[in-house]
A and B are shown apart, each in its own frame.
Chain A
Amino acid sequence: MTDIAIVAYQQTDAVSDAGAVNEVELIIPVLGRVFEQAGLTNSQDVDFVCSGSCDYLQGAAFAFVLGVDALGAVPPIKESHVEMDAAWALYESILKIRMGHAESALVYGFGKSSPGELPIVLSQQLDPYYLAPQWIDAISLAALQARQMLDQGLVSERDMAEVVARSRNNALNNPHAQLAGEVSVDDVLAEDTYVSPLRKADCCPVSDGASAMIIATVEKAEEWGKPYAVISGIDHRIETHNLGMRDLTDSLSTRQAAEGAGMGQGRVDVAELYAPFSHQEIILTRALGLGEETSINPSGGVLAGNMMMASGLSRVGEVFDRIVSGEAERGIAHATSGPCLQHNLVTVLEKA
């Protein structure tokens, strides 16, 4: 099978309100930097482009089409889009390359969630007969999941606060983080509940931002002469939409995706997990069987900044950065979509 390399990765800062920028203005500086990192000019220099975004976030119909204005699509390019996190755009791009239809691809994701009320916007992705008409928000659903964990003694509030404190402290080294600081477990526990049992600190912030990546066959990456990391596996699984029929305290789909991606075939030095709520990081860590040898969310993860539709790709980018810098030799990136970790994707990255 064709080996695929990540050659470049860039992202914006995660900010609570990007203000006066449209989708093109959000994307274009990141694309400029990622092309520069790969030694390319624009999307004419890659064989395929795939993006991830969701127009409902900002309430602008066909914003993803306007995003194409950032690409330089004259003459026409091969382009595709997923109404999902860009981690799934990466998946599509990998398939495209493995099928032999491309040797290189630009993958990018962007989201401007600040114009709307994100937890309510997300309620409308639920089943349209029983749940969406009740307008149950994404935070409340996560709180139902957290309560099950707490009731069953699978986590304590302190365990959850430890995840938050580690995220904030790790994020001090992440220049793109929205929330970072020397926060202690007791600081978190001193906070009142928000949507009980969750505290506000247990929930990721709403962030605007974009990220972009360039991948290529290993042969192409060698030709370009840039440092790269190899994607040795990628897989994803989805669980039923019926939350009552899922075991919300575990993530079977994550475990299966990790098996499919070959995570267990070597040591995992670093794991970037897309856990929008603190208890979900614990669910994921356990589902993946990660232990002491793995550094989990050294970037701070999405509790430090959650760029909807871009943060899944950012998880891959964070692991890529650490492998290329020599900090890690092998790592995994996880991305999620849907309520309470419904849909999960795992990518395995290795040193070239």
Chain B
Amino acid sequence: MSEEQDVITGIEAPVYLKYNFTAGAAAARFLHQIKKGVLTGQRCPSCQQVYIPPRGSCAACGCPTEEEVEVADKATIQSFTIVTIPIPNNPIQPPYIIANLVADGANISFLHLISECVNEDVHIGQRVQALWKPEEEWDYAMDNIRYFRPIDEPDVPVEMIGKLPVTGWEGSADD
């Protein structure tokens, strides 16, 4: 039987749908602030935890969050992984590090990249700081921060991660 006569066993049936995404109120406020180079979270009125990026609610308490809180661009590594496979269509070349970071003044981690480091030396509790893009490139985007890089500060003990004030680890140690 020629190929022309083969029985059809499968079809290509791609689905493409167009949307106009709108950021929520909390995300819009956060993005307006990050465009100015400022990281802003929201504090839960009930448990006092500070979330960044904010979502408009405290996931633990189930109550709306409205109070806006500026947090630092210094953070602590809560967890990390060394990625050795490339991401399709992503310019970042492996191996690179993705980490859960808790910014000083926040209680919940967010994901970002770690660079300018020896990958094998990266560890939980390590102190890092944002490397921002040049100001003229700032947009409504988290990647205004290119990545975080290690800074010369003592490690934060595990039980203290996520509990630092906005003044940071050294500020906290002075208290």
Task: Report A's interface with B, CB cutoff 8 A.
Answer: 19-25, 28-29, 31-32, 42-44, 56, 58-60, 66, 68-74, 114-117, 120-121, 124, 128-129, 132-133
| Residue among B11, B19, B57 with most chain A CB within 10 A | B57
CB-CB under 8 A from A128, the residues of chain B are: 13
B15: CB under 8 A from chain A?
Answer: yes
Complex formed: what's the CA distance from A163 to B17 in Å? Answer: 33
B62: CB under 8 A from chain A?
Answer: yes
Return the contact of B19 from the options A21, A29, A115, A133 (Cβ within 8 A): A115
Nearest B-chain residue to A41, judged by Cβ: B62
CB-CB under 8 A from A66, the residues of chain B are: 55
Known A69-B55, A132-B13; contact A42-B23, beta-carbon cutoff 8 A: no
Return the contact of B62 from the options A29, A71, A117, A124 (Cβ within 8 A): A71
CB-CB under 8 A from A115, the residues of chain B are: 19-22
Q: Is the CB of B57 within 8 A of A24?
A: yes
CB-CB under 8 A from B20, the residues of chain A are: 114-116
Q: Is the CB of B24 within 8 A of A24?
A: yes
Bitwise interface map of B from 19 to 31 toward A, beta carbon under 8 Å scored 1, else 0: 1111111111000
CB-CB under 8 A from B17, the residues of chain A are: 56, 59, 116-117, 120-121, 124
Nearest B-chain residue to A121, judged by Cβ: B17
| Residue among A24, A44, A56, A59 with most chain B CB within 10 A | A24
Q: Is the CB of A22 within 8 A of B26?
A: yes
Interface size on B, residues (CB 8 A): 25
Task: Report B's interface with A, CB cutoff 8 A.
Answer: 11, 13, 15, 17-28, 55-64
Known A60-B21, A116-B17; contact A20-B28, beta-carbon cutoff 8 A: yes
Q: Is the CB of A21 within 8 A of B24?
A: yes
| Residue among A32, A59, A70, A73 with most chain B CB within 10 A | A70
Q: Is the CB of B24 within 8 A of A22?
A: yes
Q: Which 8 A-B pairs have the closest CB atoms?
A: A72-B62, A22-B24, A59-B19, A74-B60, A42-B62, A69-B59, A25-B56, A115-B19
| Residue among A20, A23, A68, A132 with most chain B CB within 10 A | A20
CB-CB under 8 A from B21, the residues of chain A are: 58-60, 115
6 A-B pairs within 8 Å (CB atoms) are namely A25-B57, A28-B56, A42-B63, A60-B21, A70-B57, A73-B60
Q: Is the CB of B15 within 8 A of A124?
A: yes
| Shortest beta-carbon distance from B14 to chain A in Å | 9
Complex formed: what's the CA distance from A77 to B60 in Å? Answer: 11
Known: A20-B23, A22-B25, A71-B59. 20 other contacts (CB 8 A): A20-B22, A21-B24, A22-B56, A24-B24, A24-B55, A24-B56, A24-B57, A25-B25, A25-B56, A29-B64, A44-B62, A59-B19, A69-B57, A72-B61, A72-B62, A73-B59, A115-B19, A115-B20, A124-B17, A129-B13
| Shortest beta-carbon distance from A155 to chain B in Å | 33
CB-CB under 8 A from B25, the residues of chain A are: 20-22, 25
Known A22-B23, A22-B26; contact A28-B13, beta-carbon cutoff 8 A: no
Return the contact of B57 from the options A20, A28, A44 (Cβ within 8 A): A28
Nearest B-chain residue to A27, judged by Cβ: B57
CB-CB under 8 A from B62, the residues of chain A are: 28, 31, 42-44, 70-73
Return the contact of B22 from the options A19, A24, A68, A133 (Cβ within 8 A): A19
CB-CB under 8 A from A68, the residues of chain B are: 59
| Shortest beta-carbon distance from A215 to chain B in Å | 18
| Shortest beta-carbon distance from A27 to chain B in Å | 9
Known A29-B64, A59-B19; contact A72-B58, beta-carbon cutoff 8 A: yes
Nearest B-chain residue to A56, judged by Cβ: B17
CB-CB under 8 A from A31, the residues of chain B are: 62
Complex formed: what's the CA distance from A38 to B17 in Å? Answer: 40
Complex formed: what's the CA distance from A42 to B46 in Å? Answer: 12
Complex formed: what's the CA distance from A8 to B96 in Å? Answer: 51
